[in-house]
Amino acid sequence: MPASPLHAPVLDWYDHHARDLPWRRPEATPWGVLVSELMLQQTPVARVLPVWQAWLERWPSPAALAAEPAGEAVRAWGRLGYPRRALRLHAAATAVRDQHGGQVPSDYATLLALPGVGDYTAAAVASFAYGRRHAVLDTNVRRVLARLVGGVEWPAQAVTRAERDRAEALLPDEPATAATWAVAVMELGALVCTARDPRCEACPVADRCVWLASGRPAYDGPPRRGQAWDGTDRQCRGRLMAVLREAPGSVGQAQLDAAWPDAAQRERCLASLIADGLVVRSDDRFALP
Are the C-beta atoms of 177 and 11 separated by less than 8 Å?
A: yes
pLDDT over 90, % of the chain: 89
Q: What is the pLDDT of residues 242-283, one digit of tens each?
A: 999 999 889 999 999 999 999 999 999 999 999 999 999 998
- On whether both 120 and 149 belong to a single domain, the answer is no
**Residue 221 domain-assigned (yes or no):** no
37 included as an active-site residue:
yes
| Contact status, residue 82 vs residue 42, Cβ threshold 8 Å | yes
Phi-psi label, residue 88: left if phi above 0, alpha if psi -120 to 50, beta otherwise? alpha
Answer yes or no: do 99 and 166 share one domain.
Answer: no
Tell me the C-alpha distance between 158 and 58, whole Å. Answer: 36
Give the mean model confidence (pLDDT) for residues 150-175: 94
Exposed (0-12), middle (13-18) or buried (19+): which is 177, by Cβ within 10 Å?
middle
In the predicted model, is pLDDT for residue 60 greater than 60? yes
The torsion angles phi and psi of 180, rounded to 5 degrees, stand at -70, -40
Q: Give residue 187's domain range.
A: 139-213
What CATH number does residue 237 fall under?
Answer: 1.10.10
**pLDDT, the chain, mean:** 94
Tell me what the mean pLDDT of segment 19-24 comes to: 96
pTM of the model: 0.90
The answer to whether residues 211 and 153 touch, using CB atoms and an 8 Å cutoff, is yes
How many structural domains comprise the chain? Answer: 3
Neighbour-count burial for 234-255, b at 16+ CB within 10 Å, e otherwise: eebbbebbebbbeeeebbeeeb
Q: Which of 97, 130, 163 is the last residue of a domain?
A: 130
Q: State the catalytic residue, choosing from 27, 37, 72, 163.
A: 37
Backbone angles phi, psi at 283, to 5 degrees: 55, -120
Contacts of residue 26, Cβ cutoff 8 Å, sequence gap at least 6: none
Q: What is the pLDDT of residue 219?
A: 84
CATH of the domain at 37: 1.10.340.30
In a domain, 226, yes or no: no
Does a structural domain hold residue 143?
A: yes
Tell me, what's the pLDDT at 230? 85
If one compares 100 and 220, the residue with the highest pLDDT of the two is: 100
pLDDT digits (tens, 9 = 90+) for 134-144: 999 999 999 99
Asked if residue 222 has pLDDT above 90, the reply is no
Q: % helix / strand / coil in the chain, to the nearest 5?
A: 55, 5, 40
For residue 167, name the pLDDT band (cuts at 50, 70, 90).
Answer: very high
